[in-house]
Amino acid sequence: MEIEILNISKDNEEVRLGIKTNEIPINVIEINFEDIEEYRDIFKGVINILSEYSTRLITIISEPVPLKIPFHFKQTVLKGKKMIQTDCIEPSFSDFLASYFSENEYRLSKDFLCIGEVQSWESRSIFEFTHLSFTELKGLFSFSEDQKIIQGIIFEAEFKAKFLTKLKELSS
């Protein structure tokens, strides 16, 4: 496992998830893996870490694909796009989330975990980023099993320090 911490320029509004936020991130943490087994082991550990916070699954989709999410969520539809936001995740959701994130390329959706809550969102044309505003945003996390990468966009320094400490404990 290799952890890379990237700085973000203040004028970079797009936060690499196909969305724009009103909040300005401080860093991007990229966790790269050698093999799929290591990715899967650390994925479950990351879900456990994130479940200690108010972490929600967010899905933005423009196709009318039926989604089977086995826990409570709310959805809103704007201009043909649907945004789904779940209640806070639990460690027991890790198997479902692993499967869900591995299938997102087939859904043509934007899926990520959010430490915070979506306050508002704007649906724009298919060629523009979706604009989101959050309350108490600490981080956004995306997962790619195919590329064997976990990416965290960090908005709060205190959360970053705690997350990295717990992440290093997972790898030792």
What pLDDT sits at residue 96? 92
Distance (Å) of CA 163 to CA 48, 49, 73, 154, 159: 11, 7, 26, 10, 6
What pLDDT sits at residue 97? 93
Q: Is the pLDDT of residue 165 over 80?
A: yes
Q: What is the pTM of this model?
A: 0.89
In terms of average pLDDT, the best of 66-70, 73-77, 162-166 is 162-166
81-133 pLDDT, tens digit each: 888 999 999 999 999 999 888 887 666 778 899 999 998 888 766 556 778 88
Nearby residues of 45 by Cβ (< 8 Å), 6 or more positions away? 167, 170
CB atoms within 10 A of CB 87: 12
What pLDDT sits at residue 6? 85
d(CA 43, CA 89): 14
- Please give the structure tokens belonging to residue 147: 């590329």
Q: Do residues 121 and 130 lie in contact, with contact meaning Cβ atoms separated by under 8 Å?
A: yes
Average pLDDT of the segment spanning 74-86: 87
Nearby residues of 10 by Cβ (< 8 Å), 6 or more positions away? 24
In terms of average pLDDT, the best of 11-15, 98-102, 150-154 is 150-154
d(CA 145, CA 143): 6
What pLDDT sits at residue 80? 78
Burial class (CB in 10 A: 0-12, 13-18, 19+), 55: buried
What pLDDT sits at residue 23? 83
d(CA 134, CA 122): 12
Q: Is the pLDDT of residue 14 over 90?
A: no
Give me Rg for the CA atoms of the chain. 15
